[in-house]
Amino acid sequence: MNTPASQFNADARRVSADLRHRGIIRTAMNNYEVVRDRRKAGFQDWQGARDLAARTKCETISHLDTHLEQFARLLEARGTVVHWAANAQHARDIILGIVRGKNARVIVKSKTMTSEEIHLNEALENAGCEVVESDLGEFIVQLREEPPYHLVFPAMHLTRAEIQQTFQRKSHDAPSDNPEDLTMVARRVLREKYLQADVGITGANFAIAETGMISITENEGNARLTAALPQTMITLIGIEKVLPRLEDLALFLPMLAVMGTGQPLACYNTLYGGPRQPGEADGPEEFHVVMLDNRRTTLLADAEQRDALGCIRCGACLNVCPIFCNVGGHTYGTVYGGPIGSVITPHLRGLHEWKHLGYASSLCGACSETCPVRIDLHHHLLQNRRNASYAKPIRWQKLAFQLFALVANRPRLWSLTTRLARLGQKFHGLIKGRALDPAQAWTRTREIQPIARQSFHEWWKERGK
């Protein structure tokens, strides 16, 4: 049967042996680390900045109801329609309702992972709309009918030659594989779409309670155009994205850019507080904000892992994760990959089916070390393992530990077992990693340390003679 766990294992085995893939990712990540570290060094106190960011998110999440209430009230006061969606189906229905009400044919979207989470594109296409992703990376993976590979770099697994082929296959004129020429192809194609589009859909990086505004961070200008040209604008946003005050952005915008892409600040950081206001030259006549729960409140109820809601989706934990870099973004089979995805997916989509993600970690802690809002990621992975085994213990595992306890609690039995194991290990080499090996899953790719020729107990006894 094809479960998320078996799919993960099969894909991980295949991708981690793919040297070409590893080469592409390694080159991209090396470059990222160099620029990121240079930017971090520009801060007077980077660790202090992480403390402040964690403090801010902790306060916000602990008073989420108050901040959300203020955010929605101020947005509504200036003519924005705020919708509340309990789950993915509900959010899709709300957005489809708006789109149908406008008789929209062409919809242009700027990058939003939340829309991936609710499978929005598929729903809109089934309703007869043409949906165009405008972020270059998203545009490329949309043409390839693939999900985004990475939270921040959706097409980082592709070479320029593959992108050129993709463009040509979709009958976009792409005479060379030069990244600049390829970017200009997308620019030309999308310009037309912006002018045709009836509805623009965006995500948001932050929701500012103090002023009732959403904040979008981007580099390409595609979100700016998505929010400027179509007559109707829809923003889909998770309820956890709220920040209390305008000035909190003075900290979060640079930190997001440094960790996301190694820039001091992304090219466009834009606040939107409503539809076109009297006296303004342009902008949508209607602005809808859809607030999505989709089991975020389940994660909120877990006091131990609540801090994971503070995630700003910078992707830094993916970039430093040895598992992500080897198994790749698509292997996770989730919208949110890497360590943060492994932490939150079991909460958002069910612990039992996604518990294997808790093991997609070497527990090296590089993710927790890098997280700009200090989410305790690798401990949360351990907690997910623990919670899964409490919720539904695996019989053979339980039996194995009972057996271990039985042996370990009896010194004579223990000493007999180690002596037998020493003997057994001599012959283990013959079957190590093969189908006959009972420990095959472990020994296929790992060495078992040889058992010491003499135990401490034996040495102590001998010494006394």
Partner 1 sequence: MNEREHLFTRIREALTVKTPAHHGDSLPTSAEHRCVLPTVGTTMDEQLALFAQNAADLKATFILVNHEDDLARALQVLADKEQWQRVATHQGGLANKLAGLLGLPLLMVDGGYDKSALALCDAGISECDALVAQTGSVVVTSMTAGGRALSCLPPHHVVITRRSQLVPDLTSAFSLIREKHAAHYPSMISFITGPSRTGDIERILVLGAHGPKQLTIFCIQD
Applying the rule CB under 8 A, the residues between 379 and 438 that interact with partner 1 are none
Number of residues located near partner 1, criterion CB under 8 A: 105
Residue whose structure tokens are 């200090």: 374
Touching partner 1, residues 163-192 (CB under 8 A): 163, 179-180, 182-184, 186-187, 190-191
CB 142 within 8 A of CB 122: no
Q: What is the DSSP letter of 283?
A: -
Number of H helices, E strands in the chain: 23, 10
Burial 24-55 (b: 16+ CB within 10 A, else e): bbeeebeebeeebeebbeeeeebeebbeebbe
- Residue 91 interacts with partner 1 (CB under 8 A): yes or no: no
Nearer to partner 1, 60 or 121 (CB): 60
Closest distance of CB 443 from partner 1, Å:
38
Beta bridge partners of 200: 108, 233
The answer to whether 108 and 134 have CB atoms below 8 angstroms apart is yes
Rounded to the nearest 10 degrees, the angle between the axes of helix 338-349 and helix 377-391 is: 30
270 binds partner 1 (CB under 8 A): yes
Among 81, 271, 431, 451, binds partner 1 (CB under 8 A): 271
329 binds partner 1 (CB under 8 A): no
Among 5, 16, 21, 58, binds partner 1 (CB under 8 A): 58
Residue 73, interface with partner 1 (CB under 8 A)? no
- Residue 200 is a binding residue for partner 1 (CB under 8 A): no
- Binding residues among 281-320 for partner 1 as defined by CB under 8 A: 281-283, 287, 291, 293, 297-298, 300-301, 303-304, 306-307
Answer for the pair 229, 143: CB distance below 8 angstroms, yes or no.
Answer: no
Q: How far is the CB of 395 from partner 1 (least distance, A)?
A: 31
Among 136, 207, 237, 308, binds partner 1 (CB under 8 A): 136
Yes or no: say if 272 and 207 are a contact pair by the CB < 8 Å rule: no
Tokens read off for 279: 């006296």
Question: Among 392, 413, 391, 395, which Cα is nearest to 404's?
Answer: 413
Supply the minimum distance, in Å, between the C-beta of residue 219 and partner 1: 5
Nearer to partner 1, 65 or 447 (CB): 65
Among 76, 268, 330, 433, binds partner 1 (CB under 8 A): 268
Beta bridge mates, 207: 214, 242
